[in-house]
Structure 1
Amino acid sequence: MPAPTLPPAAPTARDRRRWAQYLVNERAEARVYSQLADRREGEEADILRALAGAEGRHEAHWLELLGGEPASLPRASFGTSLLGWMAKHFGSIFVLALAQNAEGRSPYDDDPHATPAMAADEKVHREVVRGLAARGRRRLSGTFRAAVFGANDGLVSNLALVMGIGATGVSARIVLFSGIAGLLAGALSMGAGEFVSVRSQRELLAATEPSDFADAALPHLDLDANELALVYRTRGMPEDEALNRARRVIEASKLSDDRDPLTGPVAVASEHEVIGSAWGAALSSFCFFASGAVIPVLPWIFGLSGVAAVLLALLLVGVVLMSTGAMVGLLSGAPPLRRALRQLAIGFGAAAVTYVLGLLFDVTLH
């Protein structure tokens, strides 16, 4: 005889508070996705609106359990409120990176009052948000990478320089001069390196582009014995396809003066656009490095010296290192605090090495 089915237990006050919290969080998340959709267009906007609609389904579930709209509701969780604020004031990539982590921390897996479909929804939502965030990361990866690495190079290298020089016992004036010299030397080196790198890459692309050098000779080629098929094979076509294409092009050229555009240069404009301008890359690298390298020198620029200058330089650099580290972690979907601490440890580790070396020399120059 099957065991009798027990009626569901009456919800406790604690259950109702938890459901109310879920309700406001779902509403807040739906608003976040709707706000992001208003700032996007096309397919991405449609996807975000679909996510907002899914949060609406979850909202309806908790409303049903609560028996309708409660007389009073709690505030949305801090993380959800932060997402809403960022959706209004920042680019969608930052919001989506945070939302990706938030969707991965859904409590519905362990809550008996959430349906299995809702728990599954949250897992799928995380992958949808991950995909949207990945699009944004790809769009800004080049510029963001240059900015972060350029600024961090300036921060770490110039901090290490002024720490090492300062530890030798030289005057504040020499520390200041060394810091400014390090800023200019590093920024110029970064700019020159980027210029050479980008210019060389563009020249390499230009050298590998197919040319229209032989197009004028097409009408005079022998239809049965020609090397035009070899041209197409060098561009990646299979042998039979290349031969058929060569025959069609030669026949067309004998009938018309119009050149088949595909016998000319292959469109590589998009590759040049991705690489960018050599002068633009050089200038941005110079500015990014200089913006980071000036920070360790600020205490000496404003007239501080000795321990006060060192401590202030460490504080300023530490704040910036942790900020850039947290931003990298946020955009990569990793824990921001862990990335911030890693960045801080690397920067301060490099400075500690040069500081110890400076103490070993212990010279005084005036």
Structure 2
Amino acid sequence: MHKSSEIDYIIVGQGLAGSALSYQLIKEGKQVLVVDDGNPHTSSKIAAGLYNPVTGRKMVKTWKADQLFPNLITFYQELEQILSARFLIELPIYRPFVSLEEQNEWMGKSSASEYAPYVKQVHCKSVYPFANDPFGGIELLQSGYLDIPVFLASYRHYLQNRDSLDASRFDINELVLGKGSVTYRGVRSRRIIFCDGLSSAKHKYFQWLPFSPVKGEVLRIKANFELKNILNRGVFVVPLENGLFRVGSNYDNHDRTLVPTEKARMEIEGRLNELAKIKYEIVEQVAGIRPATRDRRPFLGLHPEYETIGVFNGLGTKGVSLAPYFASHFVRFLEYGEELHPEVNINRYFSLYYDSHKN
């Protein structure tokens, strides 16, 4: 618990969003208290942590890639130095082509200024003997994965050393709103920012926001083959250590449980078997619920009635790449009054709030 009874920000949640935002505020010299009970089942701790500049079936640059990716690598490398830990694994993604037409298309696109920073090499023949890549594939730069459990544990230790962590479960009933401040368990703060994933969808301040949760499951397999890239087409295969690989993921908009399912396992295995001909053993299967949003854009901003209450949430499946840039973006809004990007500003949904409070 923070020694000071008056601080600048209370941050609820220490997932990717809460960690990134609290660190950016600390860099600004602000006093913060992060409230997080260390729940092992949060989406951040279960996520595979991939960051990938070219995504989707049509293989296009991900939204705001030119802003997100340079910022991403600098941010996590800086924290690796401060936390004396390694969690950013820079690894080219290899994405097989599905046709000769796709190969030809990328031969042209790879040298275009729009895509050149993200392309390491276009391969016109098979790279891996076990992969289904008869037309070759594209190797991407500025890609890899974040070892999220190591990152979160290392940053949690950092917060503890600063007396900036309340390691208990947040209780909304203990939040007291004042004029120009909030108070939580005796700590007075200029603002409170909710970075608590789908928990925000359950309490009165932000339950009106259109979250669209998506369940995803990931396998950990043991196999005897070498992979110098992340293999990604329909499913990702991430090389770990000691012959282990992470494989996923699926998307389920209906199941809201954290129970791994046979249906998801069969779906992931089916895609893996289409992508690569390998023998493997499944050693683990985990499930998580991603805090996605209706329009697949994050939620940033202040409550329509209470300027002391904010939200930084809804990062969905791309939290690793979105969190650093938008945490900095949000801090510039909070501290210097810079306008929020219209696509992430929660004022795009204020009508939902007012509609829900008509009676």
Q: Give 1 or 2 for the bigger CA radius of gyration.
A: 1
Specify if TM > 0.5. no
Structure-2-length-normalised TM-score? 0.23
Q: Which has the higher strand share?
A: 2
Structure-1-length-normalised TM-score? 0.23
Q: Which has the higher helix share?
A: 1
